[in-house]
A and B are shown apart, each in its own frame.
Chain A
Amino acid sequence: GAVVSQHPSWVICKSGTSVKIECRSLDFQATTMFWYRQFPKQSLMLMATSNEGSKATYEQGVEKDKFLINHASLTLSTLTVTSAHPEDSSFYICSAMQGRRYEQYFGPGTRLTVT
């Protein structure tokens, strides 16, 4: 149990375009989903917390107009990187939390390359 999927697993896009990443909890309802970014050889950086049906809570320094998060249902959250630039190239990982349990289950990640 506790399987989280992400799509796509990797994407290459041109500078200035937008990219949407989907995160799905496959076998449980995720009350809360999280979006992280990880640069090479660095730790996870939490970008935002997403609750179903409400606006995402962004961490300090994360541009909410650039990283649009939608949590449409208890099994789906999306992250849209708008007007992507090469510095947005990174490994984006979502995770999901089930109910009031604090353990998070991670998706396999999406590697974004902006050229």
Chain B
Amino acid sequence: QKEVEQNSGPLSVPEGAIASLNCTYSDRGSQSFFWYRQYSGKSPELIMFIYSNGDKEDGRFTAQLNKASQYVSLLIRDSQPSDSATYLCASERTDKLIFGTGTRLQVFP
């Protein structure tokens, strides 16, 4: 079992819809979780991090954490074609990040 698992996709959503990206993790000791966006040929950029159970909102992005279910999600509201990228979920373990393989999101006009 991988430590951080994501569906590779692609997840296709129409412009203006809500994109829901999911991630599960295996280490119950992980306390911090991160979402990164990576455009093709570029390095990852941090979108959000979340430490506490519940929701955290930042603009069009909402991160959700459920530690009991070991589940993290990222919602993107009003999806735009410019949101088309690979989204990487990461959990923290002993001062380093463990990344999932990423979910490719395609937003079509």
Contact = CB atoms under 8 A, between A and B. Distances in A.
| Bound pair (A, B) | yes
User: Which among A43, A97, A106, A109 has the highest number of chain B CB atoms within 10 Å?
Assistant: A43
Contacts of B101: 42-43
B17 interface: no
B43 A104 contact: no
Contacts, number: 44
User: Which among A42, A49, A103, A108 has the highest number of chain B CB atoms within 10 Å?
Assistant: A103
A46 interface: yes
A97 B13 CA distance: 33
Main secondary structure of the interface of B (DSSP, over half): strand
Contacts of B44: 44, 93, 106
Interface in A95-113: 97, 102-109
A104 B45 CA distance: 9
Nearest to B4: A43
Contacts of A108: 42-43
A32 interface: yes
24 contacts: A32-B95, A43-B101, A44-B99, A46-B96, A46-B97, A46-B99, A49-B96, A93-B43, A93-B44, A97-B95, A102-B92, A102-B95, A102-B97, A103-B32, A103-B46, A104-B34, A105-B46, A106-B36, A106-B43, A106-B44, A106-B45, A106-B46, A108-B43, A109-B42
Interface of A: 32, 34, 42-44, 46, 49, 93, 97, 102-109
Interface of B: 32, 34, 36, 42-46, 49, 88, 92, 95-97, 99-102
